[in-house]
Amino acid sequence: MVQAGTANPTEFPAHCPYYVKSPNPLLYAFSKHGCPVVPIMSQYACAKKIHNQAKEKPMPALFIDRDGVMNLMLYYADWGEYESPRTPDEYQLLPRVLDALTALQADGWQLFLISNQPGHAKGKITMQAQQDVHARFVSLLGDIRFTEYYYSYTHPKGVVPEYTGESPFRKPNPGFLWQAKADYQLDLSQCWMVGDCDTDVECGQQAGCRTALITYPYTAYKRQGKIVPDLICADFPDFVSQLRQIK
């Protein structure tokens, strides 16, 4: 289970990748069992995790964005844009995503979800609703197991004070990838970050991962063509097909 704790500057060395000096460093995540983590809200913070001893030869890892990659995004007239589903009933996986995830799991990849979810920070939905949508996602996975689910719920221009501010864990910042590296002894140069936005590619590149960009039509405005990924894919199943050819 993911654990979060606060620290003063003497407890963690300055080179610690999770040692953060920020007006409002916030970490939000779900454990592999879907348990929400309480936010850190002190000036100095270090994210830590208690976990089983890592294997000597860890499996390769994929860091996967959620909305527009694994599930449909929906148009909401009140904000005039396509967004993450706001209710569990609206949550729907994209075609062939389960087959693609099953193939990845069979090939031995560790799966990590990395997602910005600022809906509550912007005043659009409640935190409970976001947790309910996550629970719906997990229920649809069946036998597919993600090692961890990492969510950043903050936004720099939020309207809910405790969820407003910069965070080292909000993409394009690679805080969650560094956390996974430390917790699971990953070689990030052998890992992939997969998403449908330039921020996903930037996040992966900052961490030293290989990157794949999904050209989901409703998030085209978040792809400016200035950042070059290793792969460009029509959808998530197309990414898996290209990845398996590389292996």
The mean per-residue pLDDT over the stretch 185-212 comes to 97
The answer to whether residue 19 scores a pLDDT higher than 50 is: no
At residue 165, does pLDDT exceed 90? Answer: yes
Mean pLDDT of all residues in the chain? 82
Residue 85 has pLDDT above 60, yes or no: yes
What's the pLDDT at 135? 97
Catalytic-role residue among 65, 196, 198, 235:
65
> Is 89 noted as a catalytic residue in this protein?
no
Which segments within the chain are labelled E, that is strand? 2-6, 20-21, 29-30, 44-49, 61-64, 74-76, 81-83, 110-116, 148-152, 192-195, 210-214, 231-233
pTM for the model stands at 0.80
Catalytic residue among 67, 198, 200, 235: 67
Q: How far is CA 197 from CA 23, 40, 58, in A?
A: 27, 27, 28
> Which range, of 48-57, 172-181, 206-215, averages the lowest pLDDT?
48-57
pLDDT, greater one: 61 or 16: 61
The stretch 158-167 carries a mean pLDDT of 95
pLDDT at position 32 over 90? no
- 65 in active site: yes
- Residues 189, 104: Cα–Cα separation, whole Å: 18
Query: What pLDDT, on the 0 to 100 scale, is given for residue 219?
Result: 92
pLDDT tens for each residue of 117-132 = 999 999 999 999 999 9
